[in-house]
Chain A
Amino acid sequence: MASEEMEQLVRREYKDGFVTDIESDTLPPGLDENTIAFISKKKGEPEWMLEWRLDAYRQWLKMEAPSWAHLDYPPIDYQSISYFSAPKRPEDRPQSLDEVDPKLLETYEKLGIPLHERAALAGVAVDAVFDSVSVATTFKKQLGEAGVIFCSISEAIRDYPELIKQYLGTVVPVADNYFAALNSAVFTDGSFVFVPEGVTCPMELSTYFRINAANTGQFERTLIICESRAQVSYLEGCTAPMRDENQLHAAVVELVALDDAYIKYSTVQNWYPGDENGVGGIYNFVTKRGDCRGDRSRISWTQVETGSAITWKYPSCVLRGKDSIGEFYSVAVTNGRQQADTGTKMIHIGEGTRSYIVAKGISAGRSDQSYRGLVKIGPRAKGARNFTQCDSLLIGDKCGAHTFPYQEIGNSTATIEHEATTSKIGEDQLFYCQSRGISEEDAVSMIVNGFCKDVFQELPMEFAVEAEALLNVTLEGAVG
């Protein structure tokens, strides 16, 4: 990796005087054009990229934060946020697991995360970096032989400018929405994947294995391109809870699938949800969109959302290509004082396009959760089909679940099916399991996992196992 070069680059930048505090790798809070220039320069970006960012920033200034979501949070002061924080240097990180919060380690143990990975997740310096570097190198070689590019978005901007110019912002335009515009202006990290024509990526790609995953910034930008007949399965996120001092997380993910390409994107999100009183936690405002640009292409989103104080997230598919397919499988779990407004958009443009939505929402504690889904069938989308199934499960009597389905049908040949259920976790179901000798906690977990089954089976194997474990940790103490 280019970490040494980065280091040098970073040091050189200080001399240029963007920040006065030589010792610090973190920008002071605040956002203006200088901030963006600083980020761009620190990343070693070409001039056109800076212009792109500044354009986004200028548009963002004219926009207003959306207020339509069923969420309640105080206005965010964008000038109080620091927009650049370099990865912690090894000497600043915990030197061994002994220095890590025991509560965090306890959670890792419950999740069944192998010992050496626990260190990596907790940000321990020495072994973790070693491990990841070697793993990353092995992967890079294998991927390179297949012609697959997998690197950070910053590297891609430097090394593959033509691909970036061709695709970046074509799925989620810079001014698509308030948070996407902000992200376009200030993104600092993220992944880039390019799978060339006819290639099936030889392994599942995961941010988990990227060495900087443990210190991912607030504003990630991910771009995945599959050329004709190419396929990739991408796993995002950390399955363990990350303590993060950052409050706002505004990511953008763009997927492009050309003819007969297939992109499967799986997320397990478990950012810090705040404490039981709703203090702290991540505000997660994410724009994820896939463009089925080619005929018969297919994009599949699978997400398990258990973390964050606030989630605002609608992974979507634009079904442009003839007979293209969009899928959305989601489990969202809220507990404590968490709020989530999440769902999907399926935009049918091409003929014979199909979409499939399975959304499972679980609310516990005093949390509040909404499913918001749009199915839009354009005038040219002859014979388009959608199936939506949307189930909510309530645990206890202080939580809320809401469903906001929107349908805009511009073509009489379309077929739309929508099924929705809301159920309270059955006292009867609990009693049934307990009366067989199973503890209440295990019974809840059994029932909830059963409820989520349709979605979990879409996850890659090892993710499914961790997702189940994660669910159990999230819902600990939800009953009783």
Chain B
Amino acid sequence: MLQVKDLHVTVEGNEILKGLTLTINAGEVHAIMGPNGAGKSTLSAVIAGKDGYEVTQGTVTFDGKDVLEMEIEERAQAGLLLGFQYPVEIPGVKNIYLLKSALNAQRVARGEGEMPAPEFMKLVKEKLGYMKMDASFLQRAVNEGFSGGEKKRNEILQMLVLQPKLAMLDEIDSGLDIDAMKVVADGVNSLRAEDRAILLVTHYQRLLDYIVPDQVHVLVDGRIVKTGDAELAKQLEANGYEGIEESVA
């Protein structure tokens, strides 16, 4: 589904990713772990199309299409969706309005036509319940005055409504207490499907107790230095990243 080959990315002249290669197939859950500054968030940002990242070498393809050639919104319309570590506030824009606009923009781009309003409301209410969110969330401005936990839940709510093919979640666990993390993890787990892949970017292993990945990649200094199964994450938790770096070196 997603193929990243020998990806080199610079930000303001500094090379952050130095030849990253990664393949994610439908139905799989991958976790990327690594120390701060290793380039974890850069990877998902480049795939989503954020400005300010220069790809100097390598390719990213999604379902055979060249992602790097696509506009930001085209990537989302193709089924690539990024859940943000720090979702921005958009004052005056209702949450429900953003959800509806996003869903319909994606549907129209795929030739499916806009979803009728009653059907949309039913869908949103169902997913809200899943995320244990009150309906009043829909009427609030996007992320404005949301607590850290509410913002993260809101990101997952968007995933549940928009149903991407590849959900990329950037540090979705940061700043969550244990109860909120369970709710978020339940949401993510409900996304698991044969035709969908999930990419988790995280600093800590604890999230992976709730969302068990098929593959764990350790990203150090712009490269994946080790790949393994869920056990690898546990080792990391015990020995830290330094142990890995030493074993690689």
Contact = CB atoms under 8 A, between A and B. Distances in A.
A432 to B, nearest CB: 5
B90 interface: yes
Given A452-B92, A454-B92, A435 B75 contact: yes
A446 B97 contact: yes
A contact face: mostly helix, strand, loop, or mixed: helix
Interface in B81-95: 81-82, 84, 87-88, 90-93
Nearest to B51: A427
A436 B90 contact: no
Nearest to B99: A436
Interface residues of A, number: 23
Interface stretch (A35-43, A192-200, A437-445): A437-445
A438 B88 CA distance: 15
Contact of B51 (A431, A446, A453): A431
A437 B109 contact: yes
A107 interface: no
Contacts of A440: 71-73
Interface in B149-171: 158, 162
Complex A-B, nearest 7 residue pairs according to Cβ-Cβ distance, in ascending order: A450-B92, A453-B92, A437-B76, A450-B93, A436-B102, A434-B72, A437-B106
B106 to A, nearest CB: 4
7 contacts: A431-B50, A433-B102, A435-B49, A436-B73, A437-B76, A437-B102, A440-B72
Interface in B53-78: 71-73, 75-77
Given A427-B51, A431-B50, A431-B72, A438 B101 contact: yes
B4 interface: no
B98 interface: yes
B105 interface: yes
Contact of A426 (B88, B105, B158): B88
Nearest to B168: A435
A246 interface: no
A434 B88 contact: no
B105 A428 contact: no
A449 B93 contact: yes
Contacts of A427: 51
Nearest to A452: B92
B101 A442 contact: yes
Interface residues of B, number: 29
B92 A451 contact: yes
B94 to A, nearest CB: 8
Contacts of A452: 92
B183 interface: no
B48 interface: yes
A437 B106 CA distance: 6
Contacts of B92: 449-454
A129 interface: no
A96 B196 CA distance: 56
B241 to A, nearest CB: 29
Most chain B beta-carbon neighbours within 10 Å: one of A432, A434, A436, A450: A436
B133 interface: no
B225 interface: no
Interface of B: 48-51, 71-73, 75-77, 81-82, 84, 87-88, 90-93, 97-98, 101-102, 105-106, 109, 141, 158, 162
B81 A436 contact: yes
B144 to A, nearest CB: 9
A429 B102 contact: no
A446 B72 contact: no
Nearest to B77: A437
B73 A439 contact: yes
Contacts of A437: 73, 76-77, 102, 105-106, 109, 162
Contacts of B73: 434-440
Contacts of B48: 431, 435
A432 B84 contact: yes
Nearest to A453: B92
A100 interface: no
A434 B76 contact: yes
Contacts of B51: 427, 431
A164 interface: no
B105 A447 contact: no
Interface string A220-236: 00000000000000000
Given A436-B81, A436-B162, A437-B105, A429 B90 contact: yes
A356 B57 CA distance: 56
Nearest to B158: A436
Given A436-B101, A438-B73, 9 more contacts: A426-B88, A432-B84, A432-B90, A435-B82, A437-B73, A437-B109, A438-B105, A440-B72, A442-B105
B106 A446 contact: no
A271 to B, nearest CB: 26
A446 to B, nearest CB: 6
Interface string A330-374: 000000000000000000000000000000000000000000000
A433 B50 CA distance: 12
